[in-house]
Structure formats: structure tokens, C-alpha cells
Structure 1
Amino acid sequence: MMRMKGLVDDSQAAWFGSLMTVGAMFGGPLAGLLIEKYGRKRTMFLSSLPFAAGYVLILLADKGTLMYLFCGRLMTGLASGMVTVVVPVYIAEVSTKTLRGALGSGVQLSITIGILLAYSLGFALDLRPMACVGIICATLIAATSFFTPETPRYLLMRNQKAAALKSLHDLRGPHTDVQEECRDIEDALSPQEGVSWRDFSKAELYRPLQIAIGLMVFQQCSGINAIMFYTVSIFRSAGFKESGELATVLIGVVQVVATLLSLMVIERAGRRTLLLFGGALMTITCITFGWYYHAVSGVAESQLAAGNLAWLPIASLIIYMIGFSFGWGPIPMVLTSEIFPSQARGTACGISIFINWLCGFLVTKEFISLQAVLGPAMTFWLFAMFCFLSMVFVWRLVPETKGKSLEDIELYFLGRSLIRGV
């Protein structure tokens, strides 16, 4: 894959990869504060700055300048954490209730397309040309943010009704009557401008925060990082020795297609259905992964390639990625951006994203140690248990939000709505 000059051993390469999650852990809460103080639109612009700065540092790095690489990676991680908060919140607040799920899933679709492009370009480009691509993308984020309207909900929170009506006209069309929608948003807004930590002890904030944190923890404990870690070795053990790296591109294609299908059906099937469906596929395939590694324990790789089980890990890998991309890839981010009231959305999403990246860092960092202690089979069975528990969590606690306005969802957690929950 991509050749990384300046990284002389696997330990340095591992640090280069993990520093992104460290930066993202702090980027999420930072964006949560910024979107409440400066707005959603300005925060999107601000997120482009650490992206650009990080890629410039990576571009300037050369042998003996590891600090440039590490600081650059940390900065791009910070920006990634900011984006994973502000973009879902922005989309949730500007979308209609019939399109919010599909547009929200578009965030994950964009991520999977970006991963696929990075995998593909990595075969041909070195680290520095890839950094140039990153700088171009950061510049595009900054430029396009000037043409995006601020969300009507944020403007109404700042008592800027005229600007909110103009924003609604920009979003819905100049000939659309937006007065009723504006009144609905106003009626649902609390006169309180922000929230304090004490407010999270109230049921209307504690319950959605509990759901959001649960979704983020189960997403990262589902085994996605372990599956991606094993991708190349799975293909090589099945006999594709010379093209094992191409497996990452194939899995990237599977992710993009499955996420696109999820986007197309989310408003028909609903969030809960896709989470349960994805969780079921992931549970089954983690069990088959564990059974495979248990069955072939101690068998030489050459024997595996010629054996009858060579197809099983590849089939499990593809089905697992379909399940993740349908449900636990896009839906947690969509739900997290929907279930909090406007005044708390930035802070609460920042907390949730911090938990998400923290769990991602811990799972990625400790995976090698975990599979060394338990073995590959038990490790995948442990992930199967988490996938099954995620289904129980969704069944018992997560309400269905498809077709509901953000105001209806807020009323549900206040106990004043008839949204069908669990």
C-alpha cells in the first residue's frame, strides 16, 4: 500500500496510525463547544484549518523529522473528530423529517468512499502526494462552507428569526411556505440558550445520552477494527498470496455499495430494523470467524489454501462488512444527531464522539494483546457476544425515529409524545 517515508519500523507506523484517534477524541468535544458558540456553519469552516495544517506538516516531513509526521497526524485526527460532530448535526438540522435518515447516512457513505479512494490511491502515490490531496480537500471544505446556510434552529436559538426564515427559504426553495416549519421549531426551542453539566441528570438529556453512548460503545466493540486488521491475512490464507493487499480495495467497494443501499432503505425500514439486521449478520459472522480460526488452529497456511474451509473466512468477511455498513456503520451517527434537543446537541454529540473515538483507540491498541491472550477464535467469539448484546440494547432502549421531526423526538424524551419506542 502507500509508502511512508520517515517511518522506519512497525512501532512508528503504529503510532502514526493511532495518533489520529487521539486527536479525534479531543476534536469531538471541541466541535461540540464551537457549534454552540459560533454556529454549525462556522465550525465546518474551522474544521478545515487543522486538516490543512496537518497535511502541510506531513508534506514538509522528511527523514529524521518524525515530529512533523506525528503532529500532522494528530492535527488531522483533531479535524476528523470535529467533522464527525458538526456534519451530522448540520445535516440533521437542515433536513426534512422524510430525508433526514438518508442524508445522515450520506456521512458514512462519504467516509467509505474516502477510505476506498485512499486505499486505491495508496497503490500509486507516496505519502507526500497523498498529503497534497488532503490539502486540496481541506481547501474545498473551507471554500464550500461559505456557500452553505446556517441552520434555522441555531439562528432561532440566537433570536435571529429573519435570518432563520431566509435560511429555510434557501433550503426548501424560494417559493415554499416556511412559516409553519419556523413556528414548529420556535415552539420546541427552550428559552434556555445552553446547558450545564447538571442538566444531564434530567431524563430528557440523560436518556438520549445513555442511548448515544451505548451506540458508540457497541459500534467500536463490534469487532470492526479486528476484521479490518485480518483482511489481508484472510485473503492470503485462502490462496490469494500475491493480491492480498487488493482485498482492502475489495472490502472498500463492499462498504460503499452496502452503505449506499442502507441510505436508500433507511426511511422505509427504519433505524432500529437496520441496526438489528446488521447486528444479526455481524453476530453470525463473528461466530463463524471464531469457528474457522478454532478449526484451523495449528494448520499450515499452504494447507489452508488447498482446504475446504478457504471460502469461509472470505464469505464471513464480506457478509460482516455488509451487516456493519447497513446498520452499525451509519446509523449510530444518524441517531446521535437526532435524539438531543437543539440547546444540548453540540455538547452531547461532542461527548458521544469522544466516547466513540476513545473506544476505537482502546480496541485498536489492545487488540493485539487481546488475541495473544485469548487466541483469534475466542477474540472473535467475544466480539460476537458484543454484537448480540448490541441487538438487545437496541431492542430494549432505542426508539424508532424515522419519519419524525426533531421536535417530535425531543417531546418523546420529555414524555409528551407517542413515538413508538421499545
Structure 2
Amino acid sequence: MDTIQYDEADGQYEAESRSSLIARQRVQNRNLYVASAVAILGPLSFGYALGYSSPAIPDMTDKGILNDKQGSLFGSVIALGAMFGGPVTGWLIELSGRKLGAMTCALPFVLGWLAISLSHGIFELLILGRILTGFATGMVSLVVPVYLAEISTAARRGLLGACFQVAVTMGILLAYLMGYAGLNYIWLALIGAIIPSLMVVLMAFMPETPRYLLSKNRRNDALVTLSYLRGTGVDVDDECCEIESNLDQQEQMSLSEFLRPSLYKPLLISLMLMVFQQFSGINAVMFYTVDIFSTAGFKDGHLATVVVGAVQVVFTIIAALFMDKAGRRLLLLIAGIGMTVSSVTFGLYYELTKNDPDDSTHLSWLSLTSMIVYIISFSLGWGAIPWLIMSEIFPSRARGTASAIATLVNWSCAFIVTLTFQDMMHALTNQGTFWFYGAVCFVGVVFVAICVPETKGRTLEQIEEHFQGHSPSNEF
């Protein structure tokens, strides 16, 4: 007969029989997975909004609704909306909670998609709709990683945090598939409104995070939530006490906190990861995938984007499965090297074909290979991990404010990159633009190797103690 033992450090049951352990853990984590699955409908909407411009802009351009300059603005203005969505949500989740913050995201999503679908080609309404969906995207990019981190166990936080990026890639692929199916920009927008509508209904039945409940002195509610998330067979009192102890040691949040190493160190790490993520060129690549492949000599750019989107989903799932085994730093390093090499080879393709356009057909394999390697590499590390680390390394009292700052920086960089992409292609040439992105990726690798600590397998309280200097450095 199997002997089951409780491991207090991990919060998991251990069994002599591996099959018994797996079966018990599935039962224990079922409600945790359900709550996470509902929450990631937000990043699914996020990804769909990012992918929307790739099929929609060519459709609107063909109909004479947008010119090239207006298309660039339409593609980039989503980041402008997201710049404001993050800070507003940072305030909102501290005031009314993570759950309500997630539910609120649905409103600007739905309003934005309706504005686009009912615009009748009026440019101002199209931009308004895009800004609203961007605002919702900024909200999602802050609240969902925080929600997932605060409901997860240390052993599952990497997996569930990476599911955020999995959902984003699935949303992007869905937009690509709808475009490949021939849907026009109106029907694409209407489909976009369905996902957040479903999220707000289902999220109403999900729990608030235990850390937020305890921060509001609602201990009984927190114990009920922990029992729901961890399973009825788990004694959650120890976890509750650990969270309470951490909260009791915290002072009221003030601006002077940003002068303390316990906050400015994790904040600088998170900000730099966000800068490197965006200036790697990922959003420019995703927003203009159809144009990039058309320039590279593919007759059916929509089909090429579907292939890229599918590759991105597959390898983001692989990254999620290995997140808690390989660790954050190793995946960031491997991914950064892959992105550096692929950006350089994509630039090499443009260099080799600049004098003879006919060569683009013969060397199209190089552009496709470079793009796929780039997407694989980004999916393995730089897609999910900056958001995951953002949700892990800030102290609880500052998580909303600091995450809002990181989100603001991320989307500010995204706006700059997407708005200037076409101008960079003209000023630096196609090859020079991708070589610039490759250089940024290389600097990102160096930064991770020197500055980013490993957080896998650590509770949020242990990570906070590390930056406060209360834990030995060799623990990370």
C-alpha cells in the first residue's frame, strides 16, 4: 500500500508510487487550473488584438480605407492605449482587487471592437477602437500575471505564468487563421468581442487571490480561497501564516520605497527585461508579418503568418512545460542567443537580395528559416518570462505600483518600435533594421547573465527576502 507524506516546504504530497502522486496532485490542482484557465482568456484577447492588424491592415488598405501612413498608425496605436491601461490597472487592483481588475478588462475590449466593426471606414473611429483595445491589453498585461502568481504554488507558478504567453500566442494565431479564412476587418473585430465577454462571465465565479484578501484583513475568506485552490486534503494554515507574516513586516507604501534596494533593484531588472523584450523587434515583426513575408518574396503572406503563428504556439507551450525545470535565466539566455543569430541572418537575407530582387525567390528559405528560428527563440524565453518575473520579484505592497511602471515602460517601447518600424526600414535599410534588433538581443543576453537572479521553485516571500538581503545569495 502506498505511503503518502506531506512535504511542508513544497505544499505538495509525496508518494512512494509516482502514479499515486500524479493522480493526487491532479485532484489538488484542479481548481487552481480552472481559475487559471479562466484568467488566461484575458491574454487570449490580448494576443488576438496584437494579431488583428496583420490581416486587417491589408484588407483595409485594399478597400482604400487606410493609406500606408495610416496603416502604420493603426498598427502602433494599440501600444499607446496599453501605456495608459497598465498604470490605471495598477491602481485598480490595489483598490478593488485582482479579480475585479481582470473582469474590468472586458469593457474596453468590447467597446473597442464594436467601434472598429461599426466605424464604416471612418478613420477616427478605427483609431478610437484600436486605442480602447490597446487600453484593455495594457490592463490584461498587468493584472493577469499578478493574479496567476498570487494564486499559484511555488511549484506551479512558472507553468501557470508561462500560460499567459501561451494564450497570447494562441490569440495571435486565431487572428491569423481568421484572416487566412478570408474574413474582413469587420468580422475579425466582432470575433474579437466574443472572447472578453466570455471571460467576464466566467471570472465572476472565480476566487480573489489570498494575498489580496489577507492584505485587507479578510483571513477567513483567504483560508476558504486557499482551501479551494490547494484542495481539501491540504492544511493551508501554514501558507496563510507565511503570507500574513510577510504582510505584517511591510510598511505603508510610499514613494521613498523606490530608493530602497529591496524595490529599486527588482524594478530595474523588470524594466530592463521589458525594454529588451520590445526592442528585440517582436511587436514590429508580429504587426507586419504579412508585409515582411510579401517583401521576402512569398506570394501568400497570410499562409506564411499562419505557419509562424502555429510555430509560436507550439514552442511557447514547450517553454511553459520546462519553465519550472530549466529555470528562467537559462531559457532567457538560450532564447536571446537564438534571437540574435536569427535577426542577423534575416538581415543577411535582405543584404544578399538588395541588388537582385529575383534572388528573393531563391533565398526565400533563408527568410522563412530566420523568422521561424526567431519566433521559436522568442517563444522559449522572452515572450513569457519578462511578464512572469514582473509578477514574482516585487514586494506585495508595491506589486501593483511597480508592475504598473513596468507595464508602462513595456508598452511605451512597443509604441516606439511599431511606429518607427517602417521609418527604420527606410533609414537603416531592411537589413540594418534587423541587425539593430540583433544587437539589442545580444545586449539582453549579457544583461541576463550578469543581473537576473533565478526564481524557480521559490515562494514569493522567499524572493522578496532575497532582495531585502535576508537570504543567502547562494539560494538564488
- Check whether TM > 0.5: yes
Task: Write the deviation string for residues 282-328 of structure 1: whole angstroms up to 9, x where unpaired.
Answer: 1111222222222322112x23323xx43222211111111000010
Which residue of structure 1 aligns with residue 137 of structure 2?
80
1:274 matched to 2:274? The reply is: no
Distance 1:12 1:385, change over 3 A: closer
Partner of 1:51: 109
Q: Deviations over 1:251-304 (max 9, x none)?
A: 10010001000001111100000000000101111222222222322112x233
* Aligned position for 1:130: 188
Deviates more, 1:165-174 or 1:190-199: 190-199
User: Superposition pairs for residues 94-173 of structure 1, below 5 Å?
Assistant: 94-123=151-180, 124-173=182-231
Which residue does 1:206 correspond to in 2? 264
What displacement does 1:366 show? 1.5
| Residue in structure 1 matched with residue 442 of structure 2 by the alignment | 388
Distance of aligned partners of 1:234 and 1:137 in 2 relative to their CA distance in 1, 3 Å threshold? closer
Corresponding residue number in structure 1 for 2:317 = 260
The residue aligned with 1:36 is 94
On the 8 A contact 1:33/1:346 being kept in 2, the answer is yes
Letter paired with 1:305: T
Partner of 1:296: 353
Aligned position for 2:402: 348
Provide the secondary structure at the position in 1 that maps to 2:301. coil
Q: CA RMSD of the aligned region, Å?
A: 1.9
Describe the SS at the equivalent of 2:356: coil
Q: Is the 8 A contact 1:59 1:128 kept in 2?
A: yes
**Aligned equivalent of 2:384:** 330
- Partner of residue 250 from structure 1, selected from 302, 307, 313: 307
The aligned runs of 1:217-236 (5 Å cut-off) are: 217-228=275-286, 231-232=289-290, 235-236=293-294
Opposite residue 445 of structure 2, the aligned amino acid is: M
Counterpart AA for 1:399: P
Q: What letter is aligned with 2:400? A: G
On the 8 A contact 2:105/2:139 being kept in 1, the answer is yes
Aligned counterparts of 1:173 and 1:282: Cα–Cα separation in 2: 41
Cα distance in 1, alignment partners of residues 359 and 388 from structure 2: 45
Name the CA distance, whole Å, in 2 between partners of 1:103 and 1:82.
18
CA gap 1:376/1:413 in 2 versus in 1, 3 angstroms: same
- Deviation for aligned residue 1:375: 1.8
CA distance in 2, matches of 1:336, 1:420: 21
1:305 aligned to which of 336, 342, 361: 361
Read off the aligned partner of 1:274 and give its amino acid letter.
L
Q: How does 1:16-31 map to 2 (within 5 A)?
A: 16-31=74-89
Q: Which residue of 2 aligns with 1:416?
A: 470
Letter in 2 for 1:386: V
> 5+ unaligned residues in a row in structure 1: which ranges?
none
Q: 2:413 aligns with which of 359, 366, 373?
A: 359
Amino acid paired to 2:360: L
Query: Can you list the C-alpha shifts for 1:114-159, whole angstroms capped at 9, x where unaligned?
Result: 0100111123322222222222212112111211100000111111
Counterpart-to-counterpart distance in 2, 1:232 and 1:129: 19
Give the structure 2 partner of residue 180 of structure 1. Answer: 238
Structure-1-length-normalised TM-score: 0.94
For residues 339 and 257 of structure 2, the distance between their equivalents in structure 1, rounded to whole angstroms, comes to 36
Aligned to 2:255: 197
Equivalent pair of 2:72/2:418 in contact (CA under 8 Å): no
Kept in 2, the 8 Å contact 1:32–1:349? The answer is yes
Offset of residue 20 of structure 1:
0.9
Work out the CA distance in 2 between the residues paired with 1:339 and 1:191. 17
The answer (yes or no) to whether the contact 2:75–2:418 under 8 Å persists in 1 is no
- Which amino acid is the alignment partner of residue 394 of structure 2? F
Partners in 2 of 1:421 and 1:363 — Cα distance? 37
| DSSP 3-state at the match of 1:189 | helix
Cα deviation, 1:204-262, whole Å, max 9, x if unaligned, reads 00000000000000001112234446744664566532x22211111100100010000
* CA displacement at 1:24 relative to structure 2: 0.3
Helix, strand or coil for the counterpart of 1:220?
Answer: helix
Is the deviation greater in 347-356 or in 365-374? Answer: 365-374
Instruction: Report the CA distance shift for 1:51/1:102 in structure 2 as closer, same or farther (over 3 A).
Output: same
* Pair 11,52 (structure 1): closer, same or farther in 2 beyond 3 Å: same
Distance 1:83 1:9, change over 3 A: same
1:400 aligns to what?
454
Task: Give the partner amino acid of 1:23.
Answer: G
Separation in structure 2 between the aligned mates of residue 152 and residue 412 of structure 1, nearest angstrom = 22
TM-aligned CA distance change 1:66 to 1:367, over 3 Å: closer
**Paired residue type of 1:210:** L
Paired AA for residue 145 in structure 1 = M
Aligned residue type for 1:84: S
Which whole-Å deviations, capped at 9, do the CAs of 1:344-396 have from their partners, x for residues lacking one?
Answer: 11111111011000001101111222232222222222222111110111111
Work out whether 1:10 is the aligned partner of 2:64: no
Q: 1:204 to 1:321 in 2, by over 3 A?
A: same
- Going from structure 1 to structure 2, the CA distance change for 1:74 and 1:194 (only over 3 Å counts) comes to farther
8 Å contact kept, 1:237–1:310 = no
CA shift for structure 1 position 62 = 1.1
Q: What CA distance in whole angstroms lies between the structure 1 residues aligned with 2:99 and 2:162?
A: 20
- The residue type paired with residue 178 of structure 1 is V
Distance of 2:76 and 2:231 partners within structure 1: 44
* Distance change in 2, residues 1:282/1:200 (3 Å): same
Separation in structure 2 between the aligned mates of residue 371 and residue 239 of structure 1, nearest angstrom: 16
Instruction: Give me the identity figure in percent.
Output: 48
The separation in 1 between residues aligned to 2:355 and 2:286, in whole angstroms, is: 22
